Chain A
Amino acid sequence: MRGKYFKQGIGILVLLILLILSILLALSVGEINFSIKELVEISRNKTGIEYTIISNIRFPRILLGLSVGGALSLAGVILQGVYRNPLVEPYTLGISGGAALGVAITIVFNLNIVLGLYMLPLSGFLGAISTVFIVYILSISKNRFNINKMLLIGVMISFISSSSMMFLLSTTTAENLHSIVFWIMGSLDEPNMLLVKSVFYASIAGLCITYLFANPLNALRLGESKAKHLGVNTSFTIRVLFITASVLTGISVSVAGVIGFVGLIIPHLLRLVIGSDYRILLLASFLGGSIFVIVCDVISRTIIAPNELPIGVITGMIGGLVFIVVISKSKFKNH
């Protein structure tokens, strides 16, 4: 029995070690660099400017990166499983477009005054969730869920919201334009610790819920009707997983902005390494997404320091390049 899950077990262990290393890297690298020894000392003393940098600036960013990266990657792997299509990612379904539109409307119509600091994340979240709701309602015909219809409607809604965004961008003031673009580009710089913690707990809850459906997801690899033959309540499973993936994406986008490609690249790469068994792949994707976003954030805030690049730029560039290299070098099987 040692053989069967041995490789996967090692894979998870390696990812855990990489996650710890990436956290240490993110804690130590920045405008002021700390060695590991200094980090230990600072965390022991718990005083001084260094401690403030670590605990108030770098740690919240890491926690947010871990949560957002994990959540987006998890949402990607869930949707790819549900749709049986390796090219689907959270943003294909218009979720980010909806979130961005929500934020744009709030900024253009100056709705910030309602809830202050919480208004932008809230409107992003509401935008994402209403998009999902529309896609969901339109995909149900005769009380049955049509997966392919849903994908097409999602893509169309995504186009409609990005066109509406363009409309708002081209008609609004320069000041609003700047705020919207800045938000869309995404950043892990979130001063509100409550929001950061909420995203963290939500992503962990999402991971736990998804694990209850790991076996049904495996059965869905054979197709919806064959999964049904194995006793899986496919319609319930797909609904719960779709909602989970949407909420995870909505929460991530509303706090960290649009960070692209994580949900597409990470599950894909991990599939090549540890296989498609969802009982392993779900956790591996969560960890992989966390590592990827934490490392990309380190690059985004150090590469042109003291200025900062939007993290979406880094995830797109690095992720895309690594992806192309790996796919072209691997014996990619087309099924």
Chain B
Amino acid sequence: MPEFIIVNNMKCGYSGSFMLEQINFEIEKGSFTGIIGPNGSGKTTLFKAITGEILIKKGNILLNSTDTSTMSPRKKARKIAIVTQNTEAADISVGDYVLMGRMPYKSHFQLFENKEDEVLANKFMELTGVFKLKNKLMCELSGGEQQLAAIARALTQEPNLLLLDEPTSHLDISHQMQILNLIQQLNENLNLTVLMIIHDLNLAGEYCDYLVMMNNGEVFAKGKPEEVLNYKNIEKVYKTVVITQENPFSKKPTILLVSAKTLNGIRND
């Protein structure tokens, strides 16, 4: 399978402060990749480099063989759709918000959406389960519903790549699972390439096919979850003692946390 995204010896960041150096990894088309790493390790900076919010100083990011820094904002928005962690709490109806996903396809002279745009938006609202909330305002929705609407909007952009920046960080486990199950379905059914920053290592291990572990502005480890999520890597990067096990059903790695008190107890025994 050809590589869909190639991050090529890239250097980027904020001059004088934080920098990402020598970032290299490839993502296959249709894969579900997670970016993990502690706070301040450079996950969001990497994301901003892909979306074009910060300039790449060296190297490049190729999306389907096209350098992303040469793409116009409109063209990029047709290829890459983004769902961020903070919700879009504007006083705008869910229906209108999801329709905004058609913006990259509209010319300056097209004021209103056409029938096809409406059909597409309705389809993705039904798929994500927010169709019944169509006439509600975004600011009236719960956090989980807002994220579902954001995913519907992202899908309406008909992207090749779905970028998610901690989409479940403010949600309870039931909503976290709901969102991630949906993303997994989209990844499989629509063959949508997904790249997601995620903090929860158990969720990362369970849902992602491939993980990129960041540390201090560098890629520390990359590969299948069982290759990346071992206790040595986690201890080194997160400076925390953990126990890793295999989930008996999914055969994916799961992580058990050990508090300092328990750890001291074990040592004393």
Contact = CB atoms under 8 A, between A and B. Distances in A.
Interface of A: 1, 5, 211-215, 218-219, 221-223, 225-226, 228-233, 276-277, 279, 333, 335
18 contacts: A5-B112, A211-B111, A212-B108, A214-B111, A222-B92, A222-B100, A223-B88, A228-B73, A229-B51, A229-B81, A229-B82, A230-B101, A230-B104, A231-B77, A233-B74, A276-B91, A333-B91, A335-B90
Given A219-B100, A221-B92, A229 B77 contact: yes
A177 B74 CA distance: 54
Contacts of A223: 88
A232 B103 contact: yes
Nearest to B48: A225
B105 to A, nearest CB: 9
Contacts of A228: 51-53, 73
Interface of B: 51-53, 72-78, 81-82, 84, 88-92, 96-97, 100-101, 103-104, 106, 108-112, 118, 139, 157
Nearest to A3: B135
Contact of A226 (B78, B84, B109): B84
B116 to A, nearest CB: 13
B108 to A, nearest CB: 5
A15 B106 CA distance: 28
B106 A215 contact: yes
B90 to A, nearest CB: 5
B100 A230 contact: yes
A270 B82 CA distance: 32
Contacts of A213: 108
Contact of A215 (B72, B90, B103, B139): B103
B103 A276 contact: no
B73 A233 contact: yes
A213 B108 CA distance: 7
B88 A230 contact: no
Contact of A231 (B103, B108, B118): B103
Given A225-B84, A231-B74, A335-B89, 15 more contacts: A5-B112, A211-B111, A215-B103, A222-B92, A222-B100, A228-B73, A229-B51, A229-B82, A230-B77, A230-B100, A231-B72, A231-B77, A232-B73, A233-B73, A277-B96
Contacts of A219: 100, 103
A221 B101 CA distance: 14
Nearest to B82: A229
Given A221-B90, A226-B88, A335-B139, A231 B96 contact: no
A276 B137 CA distance: 12
Contact of B104 (A218, A225, A226, A231): A231
A315 B100 CA distance: 37
Nearest to A226: B88
Contacts of A276: 91-92
Contact of B111 (A1, A225, A279): A279
B103 A222 contact: no
Contacts of B118: 1
A276 B110 CA distance: 18
Nearest to B84: A226
A211 B110 CA distance: 10
A232 B103 CA distance: 8
